[in-house]
Structure 1
Amino acid sequence: MAALIHKLFLLAGLLSLFHAAYSAAQHRSYLRITEQKFVSLPIDILTQGIVSLFVAMYGIMHIAGDFKEIRATVDLENKSWETVRNIPSFYVFNHRGKALSPNYVPPVQKSSLEEIHS
């Protein structure tokens, strides 16, 4: 239930922020049409933009969950030195080192003439 409320906060904040941006663009168009000089946005548009930004940030922070520490040492403190270098995607099981084993039997290769005639 709380997640739904936070998603509604985010949606309301984003919609309000887009509305403030549209209102700012519309205000600039009005000033161009009436040939007035642009000084600043009206206070209601500024207030709506700032409040909607904070409402959207509130929704995002609660939807995203707990933040992780930026420092890498926080995650590495719980690991031992042996497990830091453990990267399964770099495991190689078929390498040249097996040829150094006394029990290694090299595979039989066919000659190029045998391959043509077979």
Structure 2
Amino acid sequence: MSGSQDTAKVVGKVIAAASFLLMLHSGYSAREYLLYSKSIGRQNISLPVEIVLECLVALAVMTVALVVGVGELKPISYEAEMKRYSVDGIYSRPSFQVYNHRGRFLRPAKSILSTE
């Protein structure tokens, strides 16, 4: 990676973190506003435009920051994935190798009929 891509990733992550905090603030403001409205007895409760706008701006900024900060995308084609493996790596399945099997009970170490 080049230096400009690293810088873009760091700046994107910082902006995403700041917009996440802004979104948390808008959620807290909405909660406090709804609690205050219920305490004074209002029935029709709708959020103020400032809180809704703050949440939408935070969402838009976070989306752009995450897209910028993600960096270079990797190919998802099957051919690109299979280039990473060898034939031995593809056909060996360690999940099917069983080392604790019933063979020891089928042929015990000592014979049952032996006289010792």
TM-score, normalising length from structure 2? 0.61
Cα distance change of structure 1 residues 116 and 5 upon mapping to structure 2, 3 Å threshold: farther
With a CA cutoff of 8 Å and minimum separation of 6, indicate the structure with the bigger relative contact order. Answer: 2
> 2: distance between equivalents of 1:20 and 1:42?
11
Runs of 4+ in 1 over 6 A off after TM superposition: none
- For structure 1, the residue ranges without an aligned partner over 5 or more in a row are 93-109
The residue aligned with 1:7 is 13
Which deviates further from its counterpart, 52-61 or 22-31?
52-61
Which deviates further from its counterpart, 3-12 or 60-69?
60-69
Write out per-residue CA displacement over residues 1-46 of structure 1, whole angstroms, 9 at most, x where no aligned residue. Answer: 2222111110111000000000000000010111012332100000
Q: RMSD over aligned Cα, in angstroms?
A: 3.6
Identity within the alignment, %: 25
Q: How many residue pairs are counted as aligned between the two chains?
A: 96
Query: Among residues 15, 31, 42, which one is paired with 1:36 in the alignment?
Result: 42
The residue aligned with 1:57 is 63
TM-score, normalising length from structure 1? 0.60
Amino acid at match of 1:57: T
The alignment partner of 1:37 has SS state of coil
> 1: distance between equivalents of 2:111 and 2:72?
64
Select the structure of larger CA radius of gyration: 1
